[in-house]
Structure 1
Amino acid sequence: MRVSVVQPRDLGPVDIDRWRTLQGADAAFDSPFLSPEFTITVGALQERVRVAVLHEGQDVVGFFPFERHPMGIGMPVAAGLTDAQGLVHAKDVEIDAQSLIRACGLAVYEFDHLIAGQPLLQPGHSRHPSPIIDLRDGFESYIETIKVTSGKTYRSTAYKSRKLQRDAGPLRHDYATTDLAPLRTLLGWKTEQYRRTGRNDRFARPWIVELVERFLATDTEHFGGVLDMVYLDDRPIAGHFGLRTGTTLAGWFPAYDTAFAKYSPGLIHHLAMAEKAAEAGIQVIDMGRGEKEYKEKLKNGEYEVSEGRVARLSPGAGVHWMLRVPVRKARGTVLANPLLRTTADRALKTYGRLRTSLQSSS
């Protein structure tokens, strides 16, 4: 096998068509985060993005998008933002993980959402569920399932939706709008959520805001950004921005106006989004890995993703192990224990409140 490493902008139309063909040939690759458009758009904003093109004879048999950091540290494209990572490759091709990262000039490749069936997977890698809303049998079938598995949540959400409309007026849902104004409202809510819960604000980095805005303006048969908002009269109260292929919508940035928190606007919105997405031809909404209560309530299936690293003997891999592996193991221990996870979440929220208070008084 021959591997050539290029920048995303160097991929030609033939390469992109081949990438799409390989992606469409295996349902495991049906995620917008594995689409060529995602890598190309991120690569236009981040110089560290590369694509390894895998050749067998005259045939291109795979594409491996990654970021190359100092000391040969490799990471997924837009690491920390993606819920599906890995290679897009032909089904029967044999790929040696060590040889691949060596050909990419990497000492180590670290991942946290590697999709199932990847040649990069090794026995020691930890595996995690990634909840989905499966709409392949239609929205009505999904709702009937939720009534059984999360009946209390479904009835409560329906009641709160009716009460909200009695108290404040009718609801309106705009699906797949391309208006920048509601996007900026949504990102503002998300920033407030990050700060409130003690997390880092992703949108404090201008390139991520630019990335989202570029995706909002993208709408093709194979890939696009999807912004949808629920309004109370003309006031937005909840929304979501995600990415799609022709049949999969990846959950990315959901948020809501906390002034309406008692009505559970996030759940109201997600059910409305699922209905509109199904009408638009979406078969799966991938909500992504994460211990979130709303995901457990809304899911009717799940994928599996893995976390770990592939490394070869090198100083860079040794430094990476010391800096990252003990921290990742400690975080995994916390997330796997409900009591520790709840305690950590409360600590972060307390930190968020203190940080917000200090910022307000300064």
Structure 2
Amino acid sequence: MIPAWGLAALTVAAAAVAALLLHRLGSILLRRATPSTYAAAEGTIVRQARPPARLAFVLVAEYVVTPLLPLTPEGVEIVRHALAIGIIVAVAWAFVALTEVFQVLVKVRFDTGVPDNLRARRVQTKVQLLRRMVIMMVVIVAFGLVLMTFESVRRVGISLFASAGVVGLIIGIAAQPTLANLVAGLQVALTEPIRLDDVVIVEGEWGRVEEIGMTYVVIRIWDMRRLVVPLRHFIDQPFQNWTRSSVELLGTVFLHVDYRTPIDRVREELHRILQGSDLWDGKVWNLQVTDATERTVQIRALMSARDAGNGWELRVLVRERLLDFLQREMPECLPRVRAEVEEGRA
């Protein structure tokens, strides 16, 4: 005859095995239903979603069979209470994992590695911000549900509702900066003043938006430094966004040359330089005289590029090649100072 503890162990083991088999069956069906488009992200999806889902299945199965165990009513209540807390935590973990899975699917569907990635960056920015807000709400709700499983906490909660106005006022004043940044995060998600990988100038620094958190934004500066800026800054303060509506940019190069410079010849050289470079997108180019001082003439070379990175490289290339052209072919056209000396009379 099997002792009581042996039956209890068999019951627990059978429930766990049944839950794992059911989870395995669900995983197989879900994998077959997954479109081939997301096959590349399957490893990440499985890694994120499998542990919390498996834990939730097992805990629910154990919760169901607990009354069958040879325990006193008080013992059953204690075990089911612990399992209920575990189920709440596992379900919350599963929700967080689902948000990560959803973000991975969005990254696969909307790739920012393509040249025209404006829509992809817009979608990924919204998903990232909304995902973090959902995670915050899931954690708060799960924490509250865990606390409410305790009778003493439920009684305290009823008394707190009576003074919710005062407590809410105190918490609101203390958390005002954080709440303001959270509201700013929601505004950024809806109005999109910035997006992931946008080229911006903030606090005089040129860089790309690398990460948008719940309360802050990380800007990757051109020299690989990171500038961390509160989200409120992008709502309250002016800043430059070079890729707000399009990744295409116009670049300019200014040079000072002598008055004797043949502008048409320099213009032809600029066109030749651009035609020989893959950085130029072939759409816009020009060379104009934009200013004249008492000593030099200012010329501006205008060119277009596919994105900010290519635009910077193209400007550097044009500046170097035009300077080399002036030094090699027309050194007399470099800026110079003229002086007229009159011979003194005896």
TM above 0.5, yes or no, is no
TM-score by length of 2: 0.21
TM-score by length of 1: 0.20
Q: Which has the higher contact order (CA 8 A, sep 6+)?
A: 1
More strand by share: 1
More helix by share: 2
Structure number with bigger Rg: 2
